[in-house]
């Protein structure tokens, strides 16, 4: 297994306890209703407890007193129980408490009376609000230092929303993870015939300062695009200049570790491009892992959470 790089922690983790009460009856979840018809838009942070940039952005929206002109706006901090366990000496350990919060969004799991975990209890508590959301923006960050990504799902409606958002420039269309369904794909978000839609933004490496700017820009763009606010309502400096022309990378398959015995052929961090099919990019229990087609792109390679059944990289085809 390759030794992962240790990145500096450039961001301060804010105290979220002042937001614990929420205003919905659900801790750390706020909903504001304009009283005017419009979308119910949700911006969610801390799907993973060590991904602080989204928490800083959502806290900023709450502190700024932003309210929707049209529709409703929900602002949420999801896995606070994991977040409060963050230890700079073990910065990857607070991704979750018992299981990944972003792999439990299947009705048969959420409704299973015999299943329990910290993350399942939190998902069940948040579910009534999520069920009423029209557009979801889920703010994430990445294990490795890479260019920001919009992860839009496999559906045409998600790709169209990502293109309309305009940033980040790299759009990844994928079907999710073998381990379980993400919040972004839950219910109507993942149904082609539903008007509901969702995007997941990977804002940068977990603790790099620039990730906060990406998160703020994504929030500003999303709220304006959803029609909840006018541009003048947004906090000063949040909306960044237009990004490069978006390009689409369509994920075709995951590479799943058979055990902790997985290593890459190079120090990959994401978006590496391989012109030729059959290029060895790593070894899974000693067996070579090869690019399946020409012009293959690596999507979010990382070994920080490597164990049997974990996706360590995904292969993507550059579409345009």
- Please answer whether residues 88 and 9 qualify as being in contact, where contact means their C-beta atoms are separated by less than 8 angstroms: yes
Residue 100, pLDDT above cutoff 80: yes
Residue 279, pLDDT above cutoff 70: yes
Q: How far apart are CA 138 and CA 189, in angstroms?
A: 12
Mean pLDDT of the chain: 95
Q: How far apart are CA 148 and CA 115, in angstroms?
A: 35
Q: How far apart are CA 94 and CA 100, in angstroms?
A: 10
Segment (H or E) for 59: helix 52-63
Q: Facing residues of 29 across strands? A: 76
Give the pLDDT of residue 2. Answer: 59
Give the pLDDT of residue 311. Answer: 87
Identify the sign of the CA torsion 140, 183, 102, 13: positive
pLDDT digits (tens, 9 = 90+) for 27-53: 999 999 999 999 999 999 999 999 999
pLDDT digits (tens, 9 = 90+) for 169-191: 999 999 877 778 999 999 999 99
How many residues are there in the chain? Answer: 320
List CB contacts of 17: < 8 A, sequence separation 6 or more. none
Mean pLDDT score, 55-68? 98
What is the number of alpha carbons within 13 Å of residue 92 lying toward its C-beta? 13
Residue 3, pLDDT above cutoff 70: no
pLDDT digits (tens, 9 = 90+) for 119-157: 999 999 999 999 999 999 999 999 889 999 999 999 999
> What does the domain layout of the chain look like in residue ranges?
17-233, 250-318
DSSP state of 232: G
Mean pLDDT score, 66-76? 98
The end-to-end CA distance of the chain, in Å, is 33
Give the pLDDT of residue 1. Answer: 53
pLDDT digits (tens, 9 = 90+) for 182-219: 999 999 999 999 999 999 999 999 999 999 999 999 99
Determine how many CB atoms are found less than 10 A away from the CB of residue 112.
11
For residue 298, give Cα distances in angstroms to 242, 264, 284, 293: 25, 11, 16, 12
Residue 309, pLDDT above cutoff 90: no
CATH 1.10.1040 assigned to domain 250-318? The reply is no
Q: How far apart are CA 132 and CA 110, in angstroms?
A: 16
Q: What fold characterizes domain 17-233?
A: Aminopeptidase (3.40.630)
Q: Facing residues of 149 across strands? A: 170, 202
- Please answer whether residues 34 and 68 qualify as being in contact, where contact means their C-beta atoms are separated by less than 8 angstroms: yes
Q: Which residue has the higher pLDDT, 6 or 248?
A: 248
pLDDT digits (tens, 9 = 90+) for 242-278: 877 888 999 999 999 999 999 999 999 999 999 999 9
Residue 5, pLDDT above cutoff 80: no
Residue 310, pLDDT above cutoff 90: no
pLDDT above 90 covers a percentage of the chain that reads 88
- Please answer whether residues 103 and 73 qualify as being in contact, where contact means their C-beta atoms are separated by less than 8 angstroms: no
Burial class (CB in 10 A: 0-12, 13-18, 19+), 197: buried
Token pair belonging to 205: 């490496």
């Amino acid at each position: 297994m390759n030794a992962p790089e240790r990145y500096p922690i450039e961001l301060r983790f804010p105290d979220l306890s002042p937001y614990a009460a929420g205003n919905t009856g659900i801790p750390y979840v706020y909903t504001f209703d304009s009283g005017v018809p419009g979308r119910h838009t949700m911006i969610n942070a801390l799907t993973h407890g060590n991904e602080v940039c989204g928490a800083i952005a959502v806290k900023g929206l709450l502190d700024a007193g932003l309210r929707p002109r049209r529709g409703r706006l929900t602002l949420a901090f999801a896995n606070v129980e994991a977040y409060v366990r963050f230890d700079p000496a073990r910065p990857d350990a607070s991704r979750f408490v018992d299981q990944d919060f972003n792999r439990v969004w299947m009705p048969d799991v959420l409704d299973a009376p015999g299943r329990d975990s910290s993350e399942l209890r939190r998902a069940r508590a948040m579910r009534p609000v999520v069920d009423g959301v029209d557009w979801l923006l889920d703010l994430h960050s990445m294990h490795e230092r890479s260019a920001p990504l919009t992860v839009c799902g496999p559906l045409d409606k998600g790709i169209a929303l990502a293109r309309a958002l305009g940033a980040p420039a790299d759009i990844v269309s994928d079907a999710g993870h073998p381990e379980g369904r993400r919040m972004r794909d839950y219910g109507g978000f993942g149904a082609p015939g539903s008007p509901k839609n969702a995007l997941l933004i990977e804002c940068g490496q977990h603790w790099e300062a620039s990730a906060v700017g990406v998160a703020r820009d994504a929030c500003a763009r999303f709220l304006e695009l959803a029609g909840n606010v006018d541009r003048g309502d947004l906090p000063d400096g949040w909306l960044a200049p237009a990004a490069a022309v978006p390009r689409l990378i369509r994920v075709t398959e995951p590479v799943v570790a058979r055990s902790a015995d997985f290593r890459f052929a190079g120090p990959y961090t994401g978006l590496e491009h391989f012109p030729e099919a059959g290029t060895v990019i790593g070894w899974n229990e000693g067996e070579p892992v090869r690019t399946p087609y020409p012009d293959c792109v690596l999507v979010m390679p990382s070994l920080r959470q490597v164990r049997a059944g974990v996706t360590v990289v995904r292969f993507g085809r550059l579409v345009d």
